[in-house]
Amino acid sequence: MKIFVNLLCALGLFALALSAHAEDHQQKQSIVFGVHSKTAPLEWRNNGVDQGFNLELMDRIGQLTGKRIVIRRKSFQQLLEDVHNRDSLIDVIAVVSPITVDRTLSQSDPIYATHAKAYTLQGKSFINGWADLAGKRVAIKKGAFVDVYISGKQQNFKRVDVDLYETGFQLLIKGEVDVVIAETFVARRLLPLYPPVRSSSDPLIYGAFNFVSNYKNAAMMTQINDALRQLKLSGEYDRLVNKWFGTGREKVDLNSAQKKMLSLAIFVSLLSAIGMLLTGYISLSLRKRSKALKGELAQRKKAEQAISKLSKQFQSVLDGIPHGVTLFNQEAQCLWSNDNNNDLLSNPDFHYIDGQAFNLTQALTDALAANKSQTTDMQIGNSYWQMQLHPIIDQQVVILLEETTEQHSLRQANDEASRLASLGELSAGVAHEINNPTGIIIHSIAFINDALRDLSEASNHYQKQNPFWTIAGLAPDVAISELDLSSQSIHEGAERISRIVNDLKRYAMPSLTHEYQPICVNEVVEVSLRLTANQTKIFNVSTDLLSPSPIVMGDAQQLHQVLINLIQNACHAIRQDADCYESGEHINIKTSVEDEHICLIVSDKGAGMDQATLQRITEPFFTTRRSSGGTGLGLSVCSRIIKEHKADMQITSRLGIGTVIKIRFPLTY
């Protein structure tokens, strides 16, 4: 019996040891990932399912490292305590670290960039920097990257610690704090819930999401970093970023979206029901009104007595009036007329100025029904008229006709001048707003160029140590060269934006003067073709340049802009499904000297233009490509530049044949 008991005890101890070994083995084959965020698109729970960028990224890392990812959802403060506790089951968490401060724990390469800003109540002044926080009560989330950033730094404001950014927003509403410094992804979700709160500063702290490991799992971070780098090299990291952070595809809280959609559907249903009731009421009213009008018109069809003859003296006075005067009854019978332009009323080409056909009987009926004078503008051919209808006694109407062609032309000219003046002011304002970001691009690309020159030497040194090292799948020297070409293209594009903006300003202020210099026309063609190589690479572009090159007095950058615009228009005019796309030559650029003029000719075999389009082609903001992003400023600015160079532009075009644009400069050399 004693032997049997000892045997059972031994079997039990063996089973416990085997279970502990299995549990320890399972823990070694898994990574416990602690999450706390409820903010899309990083991580959140929808219908009980955890999802988000961090979760999907960690899941891929687990696949590459051969470990199962176990999700544990806790509060942020609990996760901070767990990751510093060696006995905790939490292995890794995702937190934001300031880009200038490292955490004491082992952390991964940066995952995704973010920043923190100041948030205040509506109506408070804008915060330009840390100095503006002096003396204010500022809510700081304990343990967050804002807390890490300011730790150990001098603080001239009163700090109020909170457990959540949402707690800070609640204190802000109550007036217990003046400012909340919050991370942007969280604040973006909270702002719709707290309408009185607004963003009141530019980014104060820049940070990046990192995976942070427990002390006991520091070696695990090496595996995570290797997997993370492998995902970046394979392009799968970029796919995840585009999926969760791509333009126009930012993830939202699905539960909130469903509630909003339900509320919207209820509102639309109520609106539809009200619309149906209103439509029924209007329909019933219209039926009653139609019945009343039919009865009234039936009564007015009775014969009326003829009016007394006008005296000869009154007749002579009316005959001497240069305007047409005609008296009608309600049956559209002419009772009297001075015979001046009376025939217009029966002319089928005589119509309202908006194009609506004119019907004399209907006009008389409407005037009598309204029983008040009416004045309308009319048109026939290129002449304009003003027609006045005056109801008088016995259901009669006097019609006065006065020609207003000259007044109409003056009014159109005045309206056009006013519109162009407004467009000029608008263009100047838009140009001013574009200049600021363009300057930032030019300044930043200069720094990138300097950095590339320094990195080139480091790249050569590292390549000697690691011959198989690549950058974005390319050999280091090829990648550095491509980066250099890309930065140059960005710089050239930014400078071109700046030049276009200056041209837009110049269009608004055409009185500016220029000091022109001798310009080689052939060189203008070659530079413009290089700048438009990306657009013209699918077309067959030929050149016929006069040698030696003609010389004109002008501004090279402005002439580049003119020719670039003409080349781009030619590319847009050529449809890839057209017959000309399969033919030999698509676009031809020619320089020549003709009739004491230097000519720059751009011809294409595109769709061509009709006469109506040709008449408005240089009008500001007129474009046939509005749906594809056309602004209508291109040829307008080009026309302005050409006039400033004392040149002229001749345009000939036929539908289905193509377009030829000839710019003629005065011969000065």
| Domain boundaries defined on the chain | 323-403, 405-509, 513-669
- Superfamily of domain 513-669, CATH level 4: Histidine kinase-like ATPase, C-terminal domain (3.30.565.10)
Question: What is the rounded end-to-end Cα distance, in angstroms, of the chain?
Answer: 125
Reply yes or no on domain 323-403 having CATH 3.30.450.20. yes
Catalytic residue check, 482: yes
pLDDT of residue 4: 47
Q: What is the rounded CA–CA span in Å between residue 379 and residue 417?
A: 23
Assign 23 to helix, strand or coil: helix
Indicate the angle between helix axes 556-573 and 476-508, nearest 10 degrees: 100
Token code pair at residue 292: 């009343």
Q: What is the rounded CA–CA span in Å between residue 204 and residue 360?
A: 73
Q: Kindly report whether the peptide bond that precedes residue 620 is cis, defined as omega within 30 degrees of 0.
A: no
**Helix ranges (DSSP H) in 574-652:** 611-616, 634-644
Assign 379 to helix, strand or coil: strand
Q: Which of 250, 296, 482, 585 is catalytic?
A: 482
Q: What is the rounded CA–CA span in Å between residue 14 and residue 134?
A: 66
pLDDT of residue 327: 84
pLDDT of residue 581: 52
pLDDT of residue 37: 77
Token code pair at residue 102: 């490292």
Annotate 217-255 with b (16+ C-beta within 10 A) or e (fewer): beebbebbbebbeebeeeeebeebeeebbeeeeebebee
Mean pLDDT split into 10-residue runs, the chain, 669 residues: 50 48 54 82 80 87 90 84 85 83 78 90 90 91 85 87 90 93 85 91 88 82 88 89 66 53 84 88 88 84 62 58 79 78 82 86 86 87 86 85 79 59 63 78 82 77 77 79 84 77 57 71 88 83 89 88 87 65 74 90 87 76 64 76 89 87 85
Token code pair at residue 256: 């909130």
Residue with structure tokens 């530079």? 527
pLDDT of residue 27: 47
Nearest to 165 by CA among 271, 260, 279, 36: 36
